[in-house]
Structure 1
Amino acid sequence: MEISASGGLEVRITGADVGKRVSVRRMIDDVAEGEKFTDTVGVLTSWDNGVLQITRRTGERVQIAESLLVAGKVVPSAPARRRGPAASYEELARVSARAWRPVESERLGEWELRAASGFTRRANSVLPIGDPGVPLDEALTRVRDWYAARDLPAYIQTATGAEGTQELLCAELEARGWVREVTAELWIGSLAPVGDREAPGVVLSREADDAWLDRYQRKGLSDVALKVLGSGPSVWFATVPGAEGEPPAAIGRCVVDGRWAGFAAVEVDPAHRRQGLATTVMAALARRALDEGASAAWLQVEEENAGARALYAGMGFGAHHAYHHYRWVPDAGAASGTADGGFGAGDPYRSV
């Protein structure tokens, strides 16, 4: 906190600091004796009508009445990770986007509009990196019209929690009636430790065969969905065969892209859980990716998926940033989150 020459705390932020990372201390009411203050760190996304809004790393928004401020200052961007590969948000956003390519895309300035008949939000949302080339309201109108013409809901994928992420855009979307439906995290780690683990009995293929698809949670996939699954610079599918006549005991997917290997669709038969099969699948895919020259790994995991988070943390992965999907909902009260998105519940080891 900022301390004045007289020794007191000072508020050294103003509305002109919107868009910057700040640290504030405020008074709180109705708490135990001695706990009169709380601190909040994040991006200052608005300061209107006497109320500040700060967006934390996770995307959580905290509103604070300026009358409760005790101290505040602008602070440096979040420090870079000290473990695992160094990576920028933009690099990871583009690498992860290439792992789930749409069947149709169009540029709006530097933004990319993506569509794939509704299979996964990632392939059916706007990737808003850079400048759309027109004022925001016009850009959002074009986005809504583009998806409406394809009979798809309009989604925009944003991120928070790293340098160069889109806290301000999130606030602007919410102010215009867009509703955040999904939050997950992108985790990164070194690839070699994953590949060093045992990987017996895993079959690797360039295509998702019928056996692999029998284990995959989304049944009855269209040709478009199969095309998205097979998209990416270098795609591999892993299968641990099940008993004769049964679907595989476990599956996984990996996309190798330069130095990066992206893991997804890691699913284990409920009858075979707690046997290390998720680790086995990832190890086999990691070895293949290492052979192709990759050295770093990424994956996406839902906030509530405690099993997956524990597994990946044990393999050396850690969160890089949170990402969110905002949907245009004319009547925000009607938002139900029922649209297909590729983030369904299910296998606790699933990488979304």
Structure 2
Amino acid sequence: MEFTTGGRLEVRINAADVGKRVSVRSWTDRRGSLERFTDTVGVLTSWSGGVLRITRRGGETVEIAETALVAGKVVPPTPPRRRGPAASVPELLRVAARGWPPVESAPLGEWTLRAAGGFTARANSVLPLGDCGLPLPEAVDRTAEWYRQRGLPPRIQISTGDPAADEALDAELAGRGWRVERSAVLRTAALAPIADADPGDERPVTLGREPDAAWLAAYGRGGDEQARAVLTGGPSVWFATVPGERGPAAIARCVIDGRWAGFAALQVTGDARRQGLGTLVMARLARQALAEGASAAYLQVETDNEAAAALYDRLGFTTRLAYHYRTPGTSDGGDD
């Protein structure tokens, strides 16, 4: 890694470079070690309170004290791939979980129990990846108790890419009378073609790191503290808005995590539909994600959302995984 200019190390980044891919060298205090410096490459996701947070390609976030910086510079993003992304289902599910993080989580073996005050099923359900470490009936009992302690209905996602494990868990829950609550799919696509999509509309798209009041009003939910924590959580999150005459004409959210860009919360107001605004806002977010080094896209959408499915088909998304939730309750946890 080369930082020198005229033989000197220089810090050539600052807080204005948040969202860009950077390469930094920092001082490491390791007693008795000859390793005095650590090099880090990734997206600068925040710089506040004297601490930099850099998200590496694999999704790991590294915190570096500003006083430890020895050198730093902005580096070009990884050239985008135009083929569909290759990834295992467990990798995709872990990336998607990081991109829509719960307020509270707890492990049960390799399962993850997630809670966020009831805001969306995804943030208030168990992601049962791997071995729970217990007999299945006992694991379900513990799961149910964990959610009841939080005043939430127990909910478990079914479909992890392991057909045998999914079938066994689904059968256990069905035998207890847990009903299927909703069905959804996880879809992926190459990112560059989305960025190149022509929406046939030249309206401006504004980007921000936080959802403002108008964005939240257009979204229609997410006004409380826990919902806002989910919406703003993730390695590098952007909120896009297409301004309209009476508030946003379209909105969307994108979280960038290494090579992955996750799209969510796409909304187009009724009188602005069929004008290409869905394509417009996703293309703008895709260009931002490319600039941060992402190359692949994913999203999760309920299977009965036909309008969204048609748009995603046109943008090149294909289904990698179908899943559903089971719950013993009757309350609605909102959208997926």
Q: Confirm or deny a common fold (TM above 0.5).
A: yes
**Which residue identity is paired with 2:180?**
R
1:202 counterpart = 2:205: yes
Shift of residue 171, structure 1, vs aligned partner: 2.2
What TM-score do the two structures reach when normalised by structure 1? 0.68
Shift of residue 122, structure 1, vs aligned partner: 0.8
Report what 2:235 is aligned to: 233
Change (3 A) 1:262 1:103: same
Change (3 A) 1:309 1:165: farther
- C-alpha distance in structure 2 between counterparts of 1:167 and 1:264, whole Å: 28
- C-alpha distance in structure 2 between counterparts of 1:275 and 1:324, whole Å: 32
Is the 2:89–2:160 Cα contact (8 Å) retained in structure 1?
Answer: no
Q: Deviations over 1:62-91 (max 9, x none)?
A: xxxxxxxxxxxxxxxxxxxxx711121101
Shift of residue 164, structure 1, vs aligned partner: 8.1
Give the RMSD, CA atoms, in angstroms.
1.7
Report what 1:217 is aligned to: 220
- C-alpha distance in structure 2 between counterparts of 1:317 and 1:201, whole Å: 25
Is the 2:260–2:298 Cα contact (8 Å) retained in structure 1?
Answer: yes
- C-alpha distance in structure 2 between counterparts of 1:168 and 1:156, whole Å: 13
What SS does the aligned partner of 2:187 have?
A: strand
Report what 1:78 is aligned to: none
- C-alpha distance in structure 1 between counterparts of 2:164 and 2:136, whole Å: 18
Report what 1:326 is aligned to: 326
Report what 1:118 is aligned to: 118
Report what 1:53 is aligned to: none
Q: Which has the higher contact order (CA 8 A, sep 6+)?
A: 2
Shift of residue 161, structure 1, vs aligned partner: 6.6
Is the 2:89–2:161 Cα contact (8 Å) retained in structure 1?
Answer: no
Is the 2:267–2:278 Cα contact (8 Å) retained in structure 1?
Answer: yes
Shift of residue 265, structure 1, vs aligned partner: 0.5
What SS does the aligned partner of 1:267 have?
A: strand
- C-alpha distance in structure 2 between counterparts of 1:288 and 1:146, whole Å: 39
- C-alpha distance in structure 2 between counterparts of 1:150 and 1:321, whole Å: 29
**Which residue identity is paired with 1:309?**
A
Alignment coverage as a number of residue pairs: 251
**Which residue identity is paired with 1:138?**
E
Q: Where do 4+ consecutive residues of structure 1 move more than 4 Å? A: 160-165
Report what 1:101 is aligned to: 101
Shift of residue 112, structure 1, vs aligned partner: 0.7
Report what 1:31 is aligned to: none
- C-alpha distance in structure 1 between counterparts of 2:132 and 2:161, whole Å: 22
Is the 2:239–2:254 Cα contact (8 Å) retained in structure 1?
Answer: yes
Shift of residue 342, structure 1, vs aligned partner: 2.0
Report what 1:276 is aligned to: 276
What SS does the aligned partner of 1:114 have?
A: strand
What SS does the aligned partner of 2:240 have?
A: strand
Q: Deviations over 1:83-130 (max 9, x none)?
A: 711121101110111111111111111111111111111111111001
Report what 1:264 is aligned to: 264
**Which residue identity is paired with 1:318?**
T
**Which residue identity is paired with 2:219?**
Y
Change (3 A) 1:149 1:161: closer
Change (3 A) 1:142 1:165: closer
Shift of residue 242, structure 1, vs aligned partner: 1.0
1:304 counterpart = 2:328: no
- C-alpha distance in structure 2 between counterparts of 1:217 and 1:223, whole Å: 15
Report what 2:146 is aligned to: 146
1:189 counterpart = 2:182: no
What TM-score do the two structures reach when normalised by structure 2? 0.71
Report what 2:334 is aligned to: 341
Is the 1:144–1:154 Cα contact (8 Å) retained in structure 2?
Answer: yes
Report what 1:8 is aligned to: none
**Which residue identity is paired with 1:130?**
G
Q: Deviations over 1:290-343 (max 9, x none)?
A: 0111100001122111111111111111111101111024xxxxxx4x422324
**Which residue identity is paired with 2:240?**
A
- C-alpha distance in structure 2 between counterparts of 1:162 and 1:242, whole Å: 45
Change (3 A) 1:128 1:200: same
Query: What does 1:162-181 align with in structure 2 at a 5 Å threshold?
Result: 166-181=166-181
Q: Which runs of 5+ in 2 are unaligned?
A: 1-82
- C-alpha distance in structure 1 between counterparts of 2:182 and 2:104, whole Å: 23
